[in-house]
């Protein structure tokens, strides 16, 4: 790798993305955008390169910035871990650029930070990837991985689903039926969710929605739109609590019993919080297939971040799933530090710093999306974000390259968990493809991969 840096005027238009403090428990909170700072984007707007190809990162004052920036510091990290180029740049006419390249398949995360002339600090990101279809994962799947999960599924199937449906009248939704749902799950736990379907009798394609990280209510809007569009839709909570508790109750749970829930039982695969979560997803998918209003053909699982992880796992554990969609999926590469790569949510490595470190990291292997990938045979739509710090792109690409079925990867050069919630344009290409997939699937037509 032969990085270099140059500064020269250029014309470039981009949008701004602030960094947010990564929270190891929930989706990171995003700061309110301010009229300060710079944007950083690759000269190739797709962010996709080949090995040896020059990667130019261009910096420019953000549109509408009211506070000048004279100097920035930058780094480029391979696999969000190894710094391969860094330096300082003086901005001339509010513009600068630097360049580097990759001599192996991988992703680069560029971080640019500085201070305005009035003293306000800022950080922005850019990303690039080279030959992402050849990014590999050299660590083996645990020898007893499939035996462990096959045993858990077999035991789970012996437990009756025992569905409890409570109809809820929605005055403003005359064309759909809406229900609260409760299913029995392992060890006396439960799956709680919201179910909706068109009111007209018939058989419908089914979709299971699984949730991003955190402790919160499920909104009716999660399912009503899809039901209006002709889907049998179930949206489940990741937690063993009713999904419609008052927000104050969810806040209490987040501050007490469900605080750092991802670390609960982390020293043993039999006690990990993710065991109940993953089996709950499988049981929710199985429940949809038992309903007489399912069309018997289409069963989709869809989610973002933690929901992306659950989508991959559900497709791996439930062969009746016919497609999954995962946006910026978490839980890929829990042991990435062992091969010099960055690791992300749910941050198993962050907890593995004491006498139980070996047990924690060994447990993490049984809940790693990468190790589930070979079990997935259905079509997959995956959206890795190149600006990711929460779900490192290299690990997501590696997971995609291990999937056992056809996969469409929608590379998102301007997406990452640190993007402000008010500025989600970076995810638009994935959302457009997801809509196209759902349209084709609902019509019982083949999905044409791009």
C-alpha torsion 183→184→190→194, nearest 10: 0
Model pLDDT for residues 412-440, shown as the tens digit of each residue: 999 988 555 445 578 999 999 999 999 99
C-alpha closest to that of 344 among 334, 329, 355 = 334
Tokens of 117: 């002339």
Contact 358, 376 (CB under 8 A): no
Across residues 111-134, what is the average pLDDT?
92
Q: Measuring CA to CA, how many Å separate 334 from each of 2, 59, 118, 303, 363? A: 30, 33, 41, 19, 10
What is the band of 291 on the pLDDT scale with cuts at 50, 70, 90?
very high
Instruction: Specify the pLDDT at position 59.
Output: 92
User: From CA 76, how far away is CA 112, in angstroms rounded?
Assistant: 9
Domains of the chain: 4-134 (2.60.40.1080), 145-442 (3.40.50.1820)
User: From CA 103, how far away is CA 94, in angstroms rounded?
Assistant: 31
User: From CA 83, how far away is CA 439, in angstroms rounded?
Assistant: 43
Q: Which DSSP symbol is given to 175?
A: T
Secondary-structure breakdown of the chain: helix, strand, coil percentages, each rounded to the nearest 5: 25, 25, 45
C-alpha torsion 289→294→299→301, nearest 10: -80
What is the band of 13 on the pLDDT scale with cuts at 50, 70, 90?
very low
User: From CA 422, how far away is CA 411, in angstroms rounded?
Assistant: 21
User: From CA 309, how far away is CA 334, in angstroms rounded?
Assistant: 12
Taking the complete model, does pTM exceed 0.85, yes or no? yes
Instruction: Specify the pLDDT at position 46.
Output: 97
Q: What is the mean pLDDT of the chain?
A: 90
C-alpha closest to that of 39 among 122, 117, 129, 130 = 122
Q: Which DSSP symbol is given to 138?
A: -
What is the band of 153 on the pLDDT scale with cuts at 50, 70, 90?
very high
At residue 92, the 3 state secondary structure works out as: strand
């Amino acid at each position: 790798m032969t990085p270099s840096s140059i500064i020269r005027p250029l014309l470039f238009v981009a949008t701004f993305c602030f960094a947010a403090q990564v929270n190891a428990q929930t989706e990171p909170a995003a700061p309110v955008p301010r009229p300060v700072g710079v944007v950083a984007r690759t000269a190739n707007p797709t962010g996709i390169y080949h090995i040896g190809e020059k990667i130019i990162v261009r910096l420019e004052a953000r549109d509408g910035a009211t506070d000048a920036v004279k100097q920035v510091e930058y780094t480029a990290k391979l696999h969000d871990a190894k710094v391969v180029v860094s330096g300082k740049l003086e901005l001339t006419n509010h513009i600068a650029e630097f360049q580097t390249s990759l001599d192996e398949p991988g992703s680069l995360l560029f971080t640019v930070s500085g201070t305005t002339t009035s003293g306000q600090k800022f950080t922005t990101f850019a990303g690039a990837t080279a030959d992402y279809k050849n990014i590999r994962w050299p660590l083996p799947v645990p020898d007893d991985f499939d035996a462990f999960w096959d045993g858990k599924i077999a035991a789970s199937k012996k437990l009756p689903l025992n569905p409890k449906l409570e109809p809820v009248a929605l005055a403003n939704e005359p064309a759909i039926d809406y229900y609260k749902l409760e299913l029995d799950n392992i060890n006396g736990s439960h799956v709680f969710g919201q179910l909706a379907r068109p009111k007209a009798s018939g058989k419908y394609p089914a979709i299971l929605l699984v949730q991003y990280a955190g402790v919160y209510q499920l909104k009716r809007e999660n399912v009503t739109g899809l039901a209006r569009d002709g889907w049998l839709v179930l949206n489940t909570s990741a937690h063993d609590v009713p999904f419609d508790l008052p927000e104050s109750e969810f806040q209490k749970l987040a501050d007490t019993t469900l605080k750092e829930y991802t670390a609960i039982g982390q020293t043993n695969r039999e006690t990990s919080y993710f065991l109940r979560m993953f089996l709950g997803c499988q049981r929710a998918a199985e429940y949809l297939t038992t309903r007489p209003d399912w069309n018997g053909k289409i069963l989709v699982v869809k989610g973002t971040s933690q929901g992306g992880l659950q989508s991959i796992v559900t497709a791996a554990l439930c062969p009746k799933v016919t497609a999954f969609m995962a946006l910026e999926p978490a839980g890929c590469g829990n042991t990435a530090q062992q091969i010099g790569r960055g690791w992300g949510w749910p941050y198993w490595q962050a907890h593995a710093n004491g006498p139980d470190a070996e047990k924690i990291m060994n447990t993490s292997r049984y809940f790693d999306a990468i190790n589930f990938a070979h079990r997935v045979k259905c079509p997959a739509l995956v959206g890795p974000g190149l600006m990711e710090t929460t779900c490192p792109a290299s690990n997501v690409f590696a997971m995609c390259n291990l999937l056992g079925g056809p996969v469409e990867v929608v590379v998102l050069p301007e997406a990452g968990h640190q993007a402000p919630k008010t500025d989600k344009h970076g995810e638009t290409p994935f959302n457009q493809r997801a809509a196209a997939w759902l349209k084709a699937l609902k019509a019982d037509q083949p999905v044409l991969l791009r």
